[in-house]
Amino acid sequence: MSTNFFRQEVDSAVDILLAQQVILYPTDTVWGLGCDAEVPRAVEKIYKLKGRAEDKPSIVLVADLAMLARYTTEIPAELEAAIAAQTRPTTYLLPASRALAPGLVAPDGTVGLRIVQDEFCHKVVLRLGHGLVSTSANKSGEPTPAVYAEVDPAIVRGVDHVVSWRQDDATRVAPSRVVRLGPGGALEVVRE
């Protein structure tokens, strides 16, 4: 694929996100639904499309530690070293800040944040300037689509924009590892 195609796909996704709408896109793990993490109306649209309960929040992709800091009230001392040492996508459950749409905050007051390594997602998040919601592109309770061909046509019809980048990619990646902030500020693995 050409550099121009890649750039056009990033531009198109960012334009839709800035218009406070929902995209279907390839993440660093599976195909996902996304919107600006600071736009409650867009988050609600995703939950309605998925048929997902609002008390089951989605994660937020961020570009770097500075952006991660915008969405949490506490950064553990060991987080930077943990991020530097990680070998696969890792989501950190941290105390949520008020910058997030309320639907992204779990009942316990946390949010799942992941510094995205995938080049496409990273460029989109950087250009958006806000966190990007990332939830699997499936109806609640249905199988998670690892590749575009597995995305339910009803999901495709329900979004405002479908990213064309990597639609023909058959690579399968495991869901992200999940780590939470435990008592005393220690990081604890929830899902390997």
All structural domains of the chain, each given as residue ranges with its CATH number in brackets, are 3-191 (3.90.870.10)
The CA-atom distances, in angstroms, between 177 and each of 14, 58, 172, 180 are 27, 14, 15, 10
| Banded pLDDT at 1 (limits 50, 70, 90) | low
Q: Percentage of the chain surpassing pLDDT 90?
A: 76
Residues 32-45 pLDDT 10s: 999 999 999 999 99
Average pLDDT over residues 90-110: 95
pTM of this structure? 0.94
- For residue 134 the two structure tokens come to 């990332």
